[in-house]
Amino acid sequence: MASPLATEITGRAGYDWLIADLEHGAGTEAELLPVLLAAEVSGVAAFVRPQSGERLRIGRALDMGAAGIMVPRLDTAAQAVEAVSFLRYPPDGVRGVALRTRGARLGTVGHADVGTLNAGIVGIVQIESPSAVAEADAIAAIDGVDVLFVGPADRSPSLGLPGQLATPLYLGALDAVVAACRNHGKSAGILLYDPAGFGPHLERGFRFL
């Protein structure tokens, strides 16, 4: 909603993290900073889903203080490698080095210590297509990918099963993502629309809900 007040209320309600959604939400990059500040005040981790996985879009969100990035629309491990390289400063990535930004603690961290900044960034890759499911294990193996995140609204139509979230084909795709995460010590995430789904998905192995 691009609302700092709504963000603070939601953060104080007790959530562990929030996502400022610049892909589908009402907010724009120009409205992001007040939202991130409101999240920080409420004590909740604020992630950002940028409009795309471009270097500049990811870098701008991180410079404004995002705790992590959810990268949409990645289909292959090669694309994921490139996207996560934008999350971290050299030598771990290719993020532009501007250390006087909020995301770099406003100049209080020197060049020799950027590794501490790199270590704190959470990398979330969305698994939304059949090719991404097929490469889920390779994506989970990438250093810098912390979460493989399923969006049912995109995942089910890509299987030819729009909105059908109980079919063997859809559930098999979920299990493939969970297995990939378990193989590589990563977390499986999913968007749920109803609290009744929390228990079954926790049992299935999802942890980033």
- CA dist 11 and 54 (Å) reads 28
Q: Is 24 a catalytic residue?
A: yes
- CA dist 194 and 198 (Å) reads 8
CA of residue 101 relative to chain centroid, distance: 21
Which residue among the candidates 24, 111, 184, 201 is catalytic per the annotation? 24
Q: How far is CA 24 from CA 28, 30, 52, 176, in A?
A: 10, 15, 11, 26
Residue 202 per-residue DSSP state: H
- CA dist 46 and 26 (Å) reads 16
The residues that are catalytic are 24
